């Protein structure tokens, strides 16, 4: 009986050590259906509805391992990452696997074609970003997508070898690795296809900027309303 009480007290102390991290303003809370402690409490394994909450982000997965010394989290199985920003924008990410540092706010997601959904502020549009591997830093302030990148929005699609999404100015930058980034957009009775060594999208300005070796075409379904000015 005494041993059981001691063990329960130890688990409670471990749980509160996660919550009362070094920074009082940013508390880390990790929960799950089942918890196993290893290495004298330095490693905690959570299985079933594993959940990490800290500040404005939330990570869920089937299972999760927390390393207390480094503040690293390894998540496996149906990983979901949600960040709610003060400006009203919301970022959601899904993958099979993820690693995340709860102190440095950076990590990596991969497996099962990761996807990022970015609900823009002051807009009903959502950007969908697909890739093989995702690297995030400073709590999704910037996101780097690598290999087989595809971006889908209400007005078009983009394919690229890589992409860098910066939340600060709602920009998306792509550059040629093996292949040129390609933009396919459509509007009313016309569509356009462009390629360039460098392509930048500024969502707030609804602008596409292309640089170096630009090539492309615009296709009109009808010439009735076409006006050409010199």
CA proximity to 153, closest of 189, 128, 122, 177: 128
Tally Cβ neighbours within 10 Å of residue 166: 13
- Do 187 and 132 lie in a common domain? no
- Do 148 and 180 lie in a common domain? no
Q: Are 177 and 163 in contact (CB under 8 A)?
A: no
- Do 98 and 181 lie in a common domain? no
Identify the domain boundary among 122, 154, 186. 154
pLDDT tens column, 16-41: 344 433 444 567 888 999 999 999 88
State how far the Cα of 36 lies from the Cα of 65, in Å rounded to an integer: 9
Q: Are 162 and 146 in contact (CB under 8 A)?
A: yes
The verdict on residue 147 lying in a domain is yes
- Do 74 and 115 lie in a common domain? yes
- Do 116 and 225 lie in a common domain? no
Token pair, residue 79, equals 């990983």
The DSSP string of 86-127 is TTS-EEEEEEEEEEEETTTTEEEEESS--EEEEE-TT-S-EE
The verdict on residue 164 lying in a domain is no
The residue ranking higher by pLDDT, 10 or 161, is: 161
Q: Of all helices (H) and strands (E), which one includes residue 72?
A: strand 72-84
The residue ranking higher by pLDDT, 199 or 208, is: 199
Give the number of domains in the chain. 2
The verdict on residue 107 lying in a domain is yes
- Do 225 and 121 lie in a common domain? no
The verdict on residue 161 lying in a domain is no
- Do 78 and 145 lie in a common domain? yes
pTM above 0.85, yes or no: no
CA proximity to 220, closest of 189, 193, 195, 194: 189
pLDDT band at 90 (very low <50, low <70, confident <90, very high): confident
Instruction: Indicate if the pLDDT at residue 148 is higher than 80.
Output: yes
Q: Are 196 and 213 in contact (CB under 8 A)?
A: yes
- Do 208 and 144 lie in a common domain? no
Instruction: Write out the residue range of the structural domain in which residue 8 sits.
Output: 2-154
State how far the Cα of 217 lies from the Cα of 192, in Å rounded to an integer: 6
- Do 146 and 180 lie in a common domain? no
pLDDT at 223: 54
pLDDT band at 7 (very low <50, low <70, confident <90, very high): very low
- Do 71 and 107 lie in a common domain? yes
Helix (H, G, I), strand (E, B) or coil at 4: helix
Phi then psi for residue 129, to 5 deg, are -120, 120
Q: What is the mean pLDDT of the chain?
A: 82
């Amino acid at each position: 009986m005494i041993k059981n009480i001691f063990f329960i007290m130890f688990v409670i102390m471990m749980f509160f050590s996660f919550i009362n991290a070094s920074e009082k303003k940013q508390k880390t809370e990790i929960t799950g259906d089942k918890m196993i402690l290893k290495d004298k409490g330095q490693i905690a394994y959570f299985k079933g509805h594993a959940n990490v909450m800290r500040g404005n982000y939330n990570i869920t997965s089937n299972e999760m391992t927390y390393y207390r010394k480094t503040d690293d989290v390894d998540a496996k199985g149906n990983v979901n990452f949600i960040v709610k920003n003060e400006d009203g924008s919301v970022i959601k990410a899904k993958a099979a696997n993820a690693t995340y540092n709860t102190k440095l706010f950076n990590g990596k997601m991969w497996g099962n074609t990761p996807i990022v959904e970015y609900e823009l502020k002051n807009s009903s549009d959502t950007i969908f970003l697909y890739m093989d591997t995702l690297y995030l830093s400073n709590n999704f302030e910037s996101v780097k997508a690598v290999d087989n990148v595809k971006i889908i929005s209400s007005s078009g699609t983009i394919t690229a070898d890589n992409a860098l999404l910066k939340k600060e100015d709602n920009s998306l930058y792509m550059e040629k690795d093996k292949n040129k980034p390609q933009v396919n957009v459509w509007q009313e009775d016309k569509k356009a296809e462009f390629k360039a060594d460098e392509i930048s999208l500024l969502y707030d300005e609804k602008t596409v900027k292309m640089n170096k070796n630009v090539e492309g075409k615009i296709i009109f379904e009808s010439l009735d309303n076409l006006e050409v000015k010199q």
